[in-house]
Structure 1
């Protein structure tokens, strides 16, 4: 079933694919030769439809806004979303960027204001601390196509790529602010990709620390999908931080790292304190995303009420797992970019119901007072198959496994709701159940509630009322019927929880997108019985069958794009620690191949053992497709690096250097990790590497070779230079502003050609190999420059006759413009950069001008395969 309409981005399981082209199904798509762009002079093009009767009916019934402001609400939803961005306060040129915005762009763009409601072309967001976030009176489309805005657009793109700013939707910046992050906090971002909020968290912990020092805080950024992890790595790499770990796990099954579970009784007392818990948890869960219609107009066509219903259980389980990993006294922020109360207040109410007195919903109305927000709802309804339900008792019996009690305000089900059932629920097709909401749905509607039939080992998924789903073909057969209820006679109920403490941001309040945020505080350890009570599981299902079920579901999803498969949590009894969660790397599932299943049991067992040994030798790690994390302990190499660059003893190296290659003789890159990351790594090794780490640390040294040779085989990395610079005493030069500019401009300069002859002599006297060139501003004392962590410096390569810059062209261009603006220097228009990558004095070519992305840390796919664009921001 390869063809047909693709599912919406919020309906794809775990968002494994990118956003769909908005023109793909537009019947008025511009013809070939037009570039697929919306052209006003193209008579065949028509604007993308921003109408969906089912959407309007749904939110009118839910009373998201009052009847009087409905027209304003809908009118704003149909307007393009203004572009917004945030300045990185921990970046080296923070003050320069702020000055450039205030004094240059703010004045030059005044004449370009097009919105009658906006007075300023650009302005700081009043609710964001420190005037770090800015609102533009232009949409992303206008920025790309208005020639008058071309220079400003280029500024945004360049500064975003080097990490000085982050282009992000305004409401997406709100959740991290309510975490109240402190300098020593351990923070978990459970569903982190594409990484804008993670970057924001990193900004917070680095901003709270003095320049040149590493914070004690730690950020663990997790995402379920490898491709999205790669995007996350690309985003956060701009921060150049040693305090980040990127993991690849299902958020609802994030592993518990508790050493006490793996120790004997003798070491129990010591192990009790060795447990990975978090002071703050950001739980920005996958959602239907209807709050993003202003920047993703394809959502108008794809939206249906079943999207939120299909994600509700997954959202609850992710949130509960986050609460389990939260320290007592910690704070968790639950958020979505959806307006649907089933995904918002319904999930929060279920968390409070399961956790009892252990968790409270905080009133944060006094925080960020200038942020326009509305209180959460205390009553709402659930729509299913064209019918409205106000209480769970009114849901037909054969829909109760799909429309659960937790979706309703009270969270209470009827006697026949099936809460005592021992089957594992799997939602299939619930997200598409309301695709025909705008039409009458009478008898003959298909029923697709699915339970696992343990007797056939999960080969087929059996449904109630005679429906059967074949996991291989994806075909659905049914004999059930569904009767539409009269929506005028439905009963309603109110929640007893203080859901008014939640906040809902609606677009027309402050010309933004829509968002939902709830702040929860953990008062005491969770009651395990209460938590598990909300998860209906079959204790008899083995791990092997669970793994097989997951494979079947993935196969079913791939072969039938019309069906959305969301598997409800298959968790084991120990939800608090997660030690019994299904293990994706158990030996039987990891090493079993399709060929093994075709031979007899004895042959399979023998082949399995051999395959396991071979793969262990190849990977030298627990997780297939992901390079292991190895502490770098080659004393000879470390001593060589310390001696060559004169690194002082005050910079700790022992225990802070890691690599992704177990063969020390072929290590290409060495990473530096903070003390907090080091502690987590040591704990992870002790418990058997339960964390699947895809990226971590700051690249600080990189292997480099040349025909002329160098006393040190490792060069400095541009990423790690700002951290290491105050501690380097050798292979360091101090250049005037003009020579520093020339280096960036021409990239390779012979020693006699420097303006400052003394500088050329000093450069020629250095040992061959990597060196550092520091900008000497005015008559600064060289000693003070060397220890100043804010000093501007670049990595270069000293050859026989010249000095070659080892900075990427993009970073070099950005640095060149910053130096020129600060010192009033002019860049001749006729002079172009010389992209020479030749080592001085030799014919050997290498990547000295461009530092490539670290491929060792990316599992299963390359970072170059990821297309980074404005449309990729999916928060």
Structure 2
């Protein structure tokens, strides 16, 4: 139904850090051989190096794959990553898209596979449900450069921009599948940008819900970086959902919004007393070496300090997530790193801190077609050129940087001395050797020369899963599924309330102090990791961004974890952000309770009383007379907002809800009886409840509206339709595609298959209020659905791709307002 909205996120931020591509930029002439010529058309430059001896030594020693598989492992790592994408299960055209892939592209693209290669050109991922995720045998570079693949490439870009598909790395789709999300669940995505996994979570909670209703659950998507929050908003706006809140917090200090126990509102059964979640996705910042196939520049930057420097932060984020998780809930911890210091070591430390209140779930029987390796139970730490098998091996001057939690046992120095002494005595007694307590003292005095037993974790870390590239031609990923079986221990650990086992505001301050201490100890490694991460912005496949900006591979797995929280700056020439909420630089949220405006909207469009309005409308502007956009939120989001107000607005909200109504700003629009029109994003939700200002057009007239944008009343093929449109009062109206030759305009039956667009009824014509991109996509869908190969097909007279941007008439109203958080 209708078009989807676009946002005005600042595109310049998305064009930065484009270094991580297989094609290098042209070299600086000053760095060339003096005998060479910069204008030589035959001159070439070398691609990224895909060799790193430190990387090879490290992962061979860790046993990340068996020795006999090493060559196959690195051979795949040194090849570009194939493109993959996921069909939006909630899209009105999901079945059409899947059918087009199965019946069209599967056959037509096979001819482009390299001769002798038996691989299929494109195929559904066997482990993803309902053939909704697809893997291609072509890299992004091939899709861009091979003219024979142009039609498929255009298909991917268009459908991604509209929101019908999401271009996403295959292994990045895995973590949400193990959360077992249900439509009524409250879900937290702790480190969400750029939003592909968030989009996937929203699909899951919406999938079993009808278009005209909303699920009981919701998703909160959080990210530390303001600019990446913009990208996150950009991605998720394509979903057109009222069940989402985007927040801007450090993940390790995410607010618990815990209401005082004796608060009167707690007596209300429907009120939320604390923000706890059924499912949490903890996809933490990491070194990202699982994305080497997409970000080959990492080969030269990779070093062991990257993973060591992020370990403490990863533990803090995971612990904070578990403190926000309901008892019985699931949390998935994941990284796009292969490093056990960032993976198994973090999971082991979390399990030790939780003391049995959290279990590592064995999911080896779930998704059996997904090839994965069990987690490691033994590993070593590499620091400053030394291999360390135990914390006892760590030189004294490095014990503030290399932590006990990095090792399989997680034991401190004193504990290791005692356990090693006992093991040595038992071993020597078995051999008939006389031993004394001096052995233990000798170990403590000279740990470098004293041999210690290699550490092996006693935790069930084999229940973790590691996905390696050469198993299914993917990137690498690590996933652990954790279930909370009882409240966390009654002591403060990283934001856990001592009395209730849940988050408390004071505990957040304690968590901050702990974070500063642990990160200061690993300052050198942490800063090195941050420098690499800040230069990498290229692991998520977003080649065609929703705004049209070129986002080829913006990172999903890598964030900027150690930067101080940035504040949006006011740009000269732009309107000033409101500084009246708790959070500087972010527009506050207000419930919209202007009954006069609400009643005028209801009366103008004849909105049925069954549609819930009270308490579901919000704005970002306190001045009712100057509100430009009104957003609609689900009951779950409404409850969270009320809780947030009750606790002093602890949540820093960057965006929320679904843009439902927009104020008419044009000169002609100001004369309309109703000051607000229905937004394209909100139309599918409210359409079943509209009883006025709705017209039913024949396929021919509907097609012409999409093609030419503005049509005079007398020029419609169906004269009756043109007359009905002319008789409407000026303002916004809805045009629905007829399902048959004739349909009574007095009563139009709307269901999930109804296709509708918003239009503006002017003095002499009807103008489409949908973007050119949306018009093009609708025409393509109609072509696939209704084309019979005859002269009356939709393809006739359909403008080319370039022509769509030129056809737009002089009076077209482009329904492409900004995202939430920028109202004025």
Question: Does residue 620 of structure 2 align to residue 636 of structure 1?
Answer: no
Q: Quick check: 2:409–2:458 contact (8 Å CA) kept in 1?
A: yes
Q: CA deviation at 1:814?
A: 0.5
Aligned to 1:666: 626
Which residue number corresponds to residue 754 of structure 2? 791
Match in the other structure for 2:654: 694
CA deviation map 1:827-853 (0-9, x unaligned): 3267844554655xxxxxxx7124232
Q: Distance in 2 between matches of 1:534 and 1:645?
A: 50
Structure 1 residue 333 displacement after superposition: 0.2
Q: 1:533 to 1:838 in 2, by over 3 A?
A: closer
Offset at 1:416?
10
The match for 2:123 is 123
CA distance in 2, matches of 1:564, 1:166: 28
For structure 2, the residue ranges without an aligned partner over 5 or more in a row are: 1-12, 31-38, 417-445, 498-504, 533-563, 568-575, 788-793
Q: What does residue 213 of structure 2 align with?
A: 213
Residue by residue, what CA displacement relative to the aligned partner does 1:329-356 show, whole Å, maximum 9, x if unpaired?
0000000000000000000000100001
Q: 1:27 to 1:165 in 2, by over 3 A?
A: closer
Following TM superposition, by how much is the alpha carbon of 1:186 offset from its aligned partner in structure 2, in angstroms?
0.3
Aligned partner of 1:769 in structure 2 is 731
1:406 partner SS: helix
Q: Residue in 1 aligned with 2:541?
A: none
Choose which of 801, 810, 814 in structure 1 pairs with 2:777. Answer: 814
Q: 2:796 corresponds to which residue? A: 827
Structure 1 residues 589-608: aligned runs within 5 Å: none
Mark the CA change 1:351 to 1:111 in structure 2 (over 3 Å): closer, same or farther.
Answer: same
Contact 1:359 1:522 in 2 (8 A): yes
**TM-superposed deviation, 1:81:** 0.7
1:714 is the counterpart of 2:679: no
Q: Deviations over 1:752-795 (max 9, x none)?
A: 00000000000000110100000002246447743324310000
Is the Cα contact below 8 Å between 1:725 and 1:789 reproduced in 2?
no
User: Hey, what's the Cα distance between the residues in 2 that align with 1:90 and 1:156?
Assistant: 17
CA distance in 2, matches of 1:62, 1:716: 58
Shift of 1:856: 3.4
* 8 Å CA contact retained: 1:387, 1:486: no
Structure 2 residue 606 is the aligned partner of structure 1 residue 646: yes
Does the 8 A contact of 2:20 with 2:298 survive in 1? no
SS of the aligned residue for 1:138 comes to strand
Alpha-carbon distance between aligned partners in 1 of 2:701 and 2:284, rounded to the nearest angstrom: 50
Counterpart check, 1:848 vs 2:810: no
Q: Could you tell me how far 1:620 is from its partner in structure 2?
A: 2.6
Match of 1:328 in 2: 327
Query: Does structure 1 residue 380 correspond to structure 2 residue 345?
Result: no
CA distance, structure 1, for counterparts of residue 21 and residue 816 of structure 2: 36
Q: Which residue of 2 aligns with 1:444?
A: none
Query: Does the Cα contact within 8 Å between 1:837 and 1:849 map onto a contact in 2?
Result: no
**Cα deviations by residue, 1:361-402 (Å, 9 ceiling, x for unpaired):** 000011101000010000000000000101111111221111
Q: Is 220-229 or 616-625 further displaced after alignment?
A: 616-625
The answer as to whether partners of 1:85 and 1:134 remain within 8 angstroms in 2 is: yes
SS in 2 for 1:367: coil
CA distance in 2 between counterparts of 1:101 and 1:653 reads 40
CA contact (8 A) 1:388 1:490 kept: no
> What is the alpha-carbon distance in structure 1 between the residues aligned to residue 175 and residue 479 of structure 2?
7
Partner of 2:357: 358
5 Å matches for 1:78-477? Answer: 78-114=78-114, 116=116, 118-260=118-260, 263=262, 274-415=273-414
Shift of 1:545: 14
1:98-129 deviation digits (Å, cap 9, x = unpaired): 11111111111111112855431100000111
Instruction: Provide Cα deviations, 1:73-96, integer angstroms capped at 9, x if missing partner.
Output: 111111111110000111011111
1:488 & 1:118 partners in 2: Cα distance?
55
Taking structure 1 as reference, are residues 415 and 166 closer, same or farther at Cα in structure 2, changes over 3 Å only?
same
Counterpart among 483, 493, 502 of residue 521 in structure 1: 483
What aligned pairs does 1:566-645 form with structure 2 within 5 A after superposition? Answer: 618-645=578-605
Per-residue deviation, 1:528: 3.3
SS at match of 2:364: coil
The SS at the match of 2:239 is coil
When the two chains are superposed, the root-mean-square deviation of aligned CA atoms in Å is 3.6
How far residue 45 of structure 1 moved from its aligned partner, in angstroms, is 1.9
Q: CA deviation at 1:21?
A: 1.3
**The residue matched to 1:135 in structure 2 has which SS?**
strand
2:555 alignment counterpart: none
Q: Cα gap change, 1:647/1:31 in structure 2, threshold over 3 Å: closer, same or farther?
A: farther
C-alpha contact (below 8 Å) 1:187/1:281 kept by paired residues: yes
Instruction: Tell me the TM-score normalised to structure 2 length.
Output: 0.81
CA gap of 1:690–1:114, structure 2 versus 1, over 3 A, is same
Q: Which residue of 2 aligns with 1:744?
A: 706
Runs of 4+ that moved beyond 6 A: 23-28, 484-490, 539-547, 560-563
SS in 1 for 2:491: helix
Alignment match, 2:474? 512
SS of the aligned residue for 2:216 comes to: coil
CA contact (8 A) 2:323 2:495 kept: no
User: How has the CA–CA distance of structure 1 residues 311 and 667 changed in structure 2, closer, same or farther, with 3 Å as cutoff?
Assistant: same
- Cα gap change, 1:800 to 1:17, in 2 (>3 Å): closer
CA deviation string 1:306-332 (max 9, x = no partner): 100000000000000000000000000
Structure 1 residues 704-762: Cα deviation after superposition (integer angstroms, max 9, x where no partner) = 14434100010110110000110111111100001000001000000000000000000
SS in 2 for 1:148: helix
Deviations 1:161-195 (A, max 9, x none): 10000000000000000001111000000000010
Structure 1 residue 541, shift from structure 2 partner: 13
Provide, for residues 623-652 of structure 1, a one-character-per-residue CA deviation record: whole Å limited to 9, x for no partner: 110001100000000011000000000111
> How far 1:58 moved relative to its partner?
0.1
TM-aligned CA distance change 1:565 to 1:128, over 3 Å:
closer
Q: Which moved more, 1:784-793 or 1:200-209?
A: 784-793
Using the TM superposition, give the Cα deviation of residue 233 of structure 1 relative to its aligned residue in structure 2, in angstroms: 0.3
Quick one: structure 1 residues 796 and 273, their matched pair in 2 at CA, closer, same or farther if it must change by over 3 Å? closer
Matched positions, count: 712
Alpha-carbon spacing, 1:169–1:379, altered in 2? closer, same or farther (3 Å): same
Structure 1 CA distance for aligned equivalents of residues 799 and 357 of structure 2: 68
Quickly say closer, same or farther: Cα 1:31–1:814, change in 2 above 3 A.
Answer: farther
Structure 1 residues 563 and 292 mapped into 2: Cα distance closer, same or farther (>3 Å)?
closer
Offset, 1:817: 1.5
Closer, same or farther in 2 for the Cα pair 1:514/1:540, shift >3 Å? closer
Alignment partner, residue 480 of structure 1: none
**Deviation by residue 1:801-841 (Cα, 9 ceiling, x = unmatched):** 000000011111101121233222223267844554655xx
Q: Helix, strand or coil for the counterpart of 2:696?
A: strand
1:21 is the counterpart of 2:24: no
Residues 677-688 of structure 1 mapped to structure 2, 5 A cutoff: 677-688=637-648
Separation in structure 2 between the aligned mates of residue 647 and residue 268 of structure 1, nearest angstrom: 34
| Structure-2 change in CA distance of 1:519 and 1:31 (3 Å) | same
- CA gap of 1:563–1:755, structure 2 versus 1, over 3 A, is closer
Counterpart check, 1:44 vs 2:44: yes
Distance 1:541 1:731 in 2: 54
CA distance in 2 between partners of 1:210 and 1:374 (Å): 38
| Cα distance change, pair 115–68 in 1 and its aligned pair in 2 (3 A) | farther
785-794 or 133-142, which deviates more:
785-794
Shift of 1:799: 0.4
